[in-house]
Amino acid sequence: MLPKELLKEIKRIEIKTRCLVDSVYSGGYRSVFKGQGIEFSGIREYSRGDEFRSIDWKVTARTGNLHIREHVEERELQVVIALDLSGSMSFGSGSREKRETAVEFAAAIGMSAAENHDRFGILMFTDHVEKYSAPAKGKTHLLRLIRDLLYFVPKEKNTDFKPVFHLLNNSLRHKSVIFLVSDFLDCQNFEREMKITAARHDLIAVKIRDRREIELPDVGLIELEDPETGEESLLDTSNRQRVSELSDLIRRMDTKFRSFAEKIGVDFVELTAGESVSKPIIALFNRRTRRFSSSG
């Protein structure tokens, strides 16, 4: 039995994302994901007109008669949200933390998957995989995952993406749609692993920022604490050159990561803490629809 406060929060998220889910559902949700492609369905004897490249030469040699391998398009999608729960994701200067906005995004994707009878799973991580729930169907399953996204308390605060890619590459046997949701403030030494995952799956990077990480106002001397290391420091926000340097550093990091993601064929979504997730999702869908239409 879910507690009342959890049901209330889930209902709030559902109401907030329902219009988006409906528009996604009616607007070609399936058409914007690569899915699993095709799967082997069986072997039968060759018939005139069959595709020559489909001949299974091993079976043909064993039986003495031409046989072909049959494949069917896999209709069912498998969607996984990999959510960063490191310390920096708890930051929020407005009405919502980065994590809360990320959960709204995950819930919208999860409800879209449920509407289409697809499998949906989550992976929550810090410097290791904190919890993994394999993709499955059903409203009860979806509600349990939203509950975990809202209230799961991670054991660590640091970030490491390598265990995430390792688990996904070894546990997902079929090609899946993976949304990697993080602020990507620590993007070190995982390029190889990310490239492998992008080759095996339909990987989409979802970056979330709080506006104050880029636009820090002049409020005098403030004490800063690194949410992942606990290290404390003082920053004089009236020193606009220093503030500008810090903002430029984050922008350069963002540009470098986005360039790498686009280079290996990974789509990119940008969310802002406390703001609607609808526009970024719709922009992603429109972008992919145009691209797949032109390539098809």
> DSSP string of 54-114?
GB-HHHHHHHSS-EEEEEEE----EEEEEEE-SGGGG--SSSS-HHHHHHHHHHHHHHHHH
Closest CA to 130 of 80, 86, 176, 90: 86
pLDDT under 70 in the chain at which residues?
1-7, 10, 14-30, 34-41, 49, 70-75, 218, 223-228, 230, 292, 294-296
The whole-number pLDDT of residue 72 equals 47
d(CA 107, CA 253): 28
CA distance 95 to 117: 33
Comparing CA positions, the residue from 249, 110, 239, 287 lying closest to residue 181 is: 110
**pLDDT value of position 250:** 87
What six digits make up the tokens of 68? 């072909």
What is the Cα–Cα distance from 98 to 91, expressed in whole angstroms? 6
pLDDT value for 4: 64
Residue type, 243: V
State how far the Cα of 193 lies from the Cα of 199, in Å rounded to an integer: 10
pLDDT, residue 269, reads 95
Instruction: Give me the residues paired with residue 270 across strands.
Output: 207
What predicted TM-score, i.e. pTM, was given to this entire model?
0.80
**CA distances in angstroms from 147 to 8, 152, 239, 272, listed in the order given:** 11, 8, 43, 22
The H-or-E segment that residue 273 falls in is: none
DSSP symbol at 54: G
CATH architecture of 4-23+77-295: 3-Layer(aba) Sandwich (3.40)
Q: What is the pLDDT of residue 57?
A: 86
d(CA 161, CA 207): 14
- Are 216 and 246 in contact, with CB atoms under 8 Å apart? yes
Place of tokens 């290996």: 264
pLDDT at 296: 54
Whole-number Cα distances in Å, 207 to 105, 183, 261, 268: 11, 5, 11, 8
Residue 248: CA count within 13 A, CB half-sphere: 6
What is the DSSP code (8-state) at residue 53? G
| Cα gap 53→69, rounded to integer Å | 9
